[in-house]
Amino acid sequence: MTTTADRSVTTPPRVTRYALAIFALATGGFAIGTTEFVTMGLIREIAAGVDASIPSTGHVISAYAVGVVVGAPLIAYVGARWPRRALLVGLMAVFALFNALSALSTSFGWLVAARFLDGLPHGAYFGIASLVAASLAPEGRKGRAVASVMLGLSVANVIGVPAATWLGQHLGWRSAYWAVALLSLVTVVLVLAFVPSVPGNAEATGRRELAAFAKPQVWLTLLVGAIGFGGMFAVFSYIAPTVTEVGGLGDGAVPVFLLVFGLGMVAGTAVAGELADRSIFHALVLGSAGMGVALVLFWLLAPTGWGLLPVAFAITALGSVLVVNLQLRLMDVAGDAQTLGAAMNHASLNIANALGAWLGGLVIAAGHGYRAPALVGLALSLAGLVVVLVSAALQRRDDRHSSTSTS
């Protein structure tokens, strides 16, 4: 029989090991979040460093996003059976290498190629880390465990991105990518030290993973991320020139806005798990509709400078609600294709990254100014909301058919 005294001795070590494992996984998210978003904060320095225009340098952001889209299904297809801790270690080691290549790039073309390569491990890392976190979580806390891994990405925007932006402004933009390469190697050490060995799915096959794409709800969920989340990236990609040229603030304001973006992500991630426990669909509606309202406010308040700060907070808070709930929705609807389903969330979100940055760059290049991407973002958010409502209607129909056939 286990006594109260026994439990008081044995429980804390288990809790501590679980917490350290989640911390290790979240550190990888911190590194990934830093490199993904710091390019936006340093877009002018990078443009000058590789002799390109600011709209053209937006393609560097898109190249990373395309790498995520390509890498997520490819790595999930190949690695579904691999031991998950070993796969996480390998992904972060490669991530460190490609960040180093980004720092060493001497031309626009090489930087675009390096950022594409750096995006390859992104989606697979978050997918595998989410599955590992869910498998380690106590009963009834799967959503919170996944949100905790995602919190690393959010905290990156509070600490990592502003710090790396400051570093890049003072020591050159290459230093930001070197810093992320070092963070990636730290993650390798932490994962090896604290994440227990987790076997892959011995029954997984590439064909079974690809079967997820035969499910309409998988496609609808991916579409919500690919379109609806693009609204945030349409404005975030060009936040530096918007703040300085439209808002009339100095360069020192850019890290402040990135910090507020990050605080919004942390806040949104913190409540996303609670919202998911009540209703994933309601959370997705809230995120999509709220994002549309916030983007209208962004367009209206951009000339006020500091008055844009609370809007920046709201945009990323609502975006983070979408991220976590889309991740959980995909893990639910993918069925047996867990690895692919989990990894594809960040693939769809980075389609949104590429789409938002590209469309935002188009309207800027067409002469509509740095406020115009907010209206592009509004259209994307409303389109994402329509897809959420279609998905919910189909789910209700399927649930009715299922209940009728079993009664």
How many Cβ atoms sit within 10 Å of the Cβ of residue 130?
30
Task: Please tell me the distance from the alpha carbon of residue 182 to that of residue 192, in angstroms, as a whole number.
Answer: 16
Which of 142, 120, 119 is CA-nearest to residue 22? 142
- From residue 221, alpha-carbon distances to 281, 348, 351, 395 in Å are 11, 9, 13, 12
* 183, 27 Cβ separation under 8 angstroms: yes
Q: Is residue 3 part of a domain?
A: no
Task: Please tell me the distance from the alpha carbon of residue 223 to that of residue 268, in angstroms, as a whole number.
Answer: 21
Q: Is residue 2 part of a domain?
A: no
How many Cβ atoms sit within 10 Å of the Cβ of residue 36?
27
Q: Is residue 42 part of a domain?
A: yes
Which of 36, 26, 63 is CA-nearest to residue 164? 36
Task: Please tell me the distance from the alpha carbon of residue 348 to that of residue 353, in angstroms, as a whole number.
Answer: 9
pLDDT digits (tens, 9 = 90+) for 100-146: 999 999 888 899 999 999 999 998 898 889 888 888 877 666 777 77
pLDDT of residue 18: 81
Task: Please tell me the distance from the alpha carbon of residue 344 to that of residue 72, in angstroms, as a whole number.
Answer: 6
Angle, to 10 degrees, between the axis of helix 280-301 and the axis of helix 253-278?
Answer: 160
What residues contact 406, with CB distance under 8 A and at least 6 apart? Answer: none
**For residue 110, what is the domain's CATH number?**
1.20.1250.20
Tell me how far apart the terminal alpha carbons of the chain are, to the nearest angstrom: 44
pLDDT of residue 406: 59
- Quote the mean pLDDT of the chain: 84
Residues in the chain: 407
Task: Please tell me the distance from the alpha carbon of residue 184 to that of residue 279, in angstroms, as a whole number.
Answer: 35
Residue 24 has pLDDT above 70, yes or no: yes
CA atoms within 13 A on the CB side of 400: 6
* Residue 358 host element (H or E): helix 338-363
- DSSP-based three-state secondary structure for 71: helix
Task: Please tell me the distance from the alpha carbon of residue 68 to that of residue 294, in angstroms, as a whole number.
Answer: 27
Task: Please tell me the distance from the alpha carbon of residue 368 to that of residue 197, in angstroms, as a whole number.
Answer: 53
Q: What angle do CA 189, 195, 201 make, to 5 degrees?
A: 120
Q: Is residue 5 part of a domain?
A: no
> Which of 113-117, 139-143, 225-229, 272-276 comes out lowest in average pLDDT?
139-143
Residue 207 has pLDDT above 80, yes or no: no
Task: Please tell me the distance from the alpha carbon of residue 147 to that of residue 324, in angstroms, as a whole number.
Answer: 6
The confidence band for 10, taking pLDDT boundaries of 50, 70 and 90, is very low
Domain that holds residue 187: 14-399
Q: What is the mean pLDDT of residues 94-102?
A: 95
Higher pLDDT, 199 or 396: 396
Residue with tokens 């980075």: 350
Token reading at 133: 């976190």
How many Cβ atoms sit within 10 Å of the Cβ of residue 284?
28
Q: What percent of the chain has pLDDT over 90?
A: 29
Residue 1 has pLDDT above 80, yes or no: no
Task: Please tell me the distance from the alpha carbon of residue 396 to that of residue 343, in angstroms, as a whole number.
Answer: 26
Total of domains in the chain: 1
- Tell me the pTM: 0.74
Q: Is residue 405 part of a domain?
A: no
Higher pLDDT, 102 or 203: 102
pLDDT of residue 176: 93
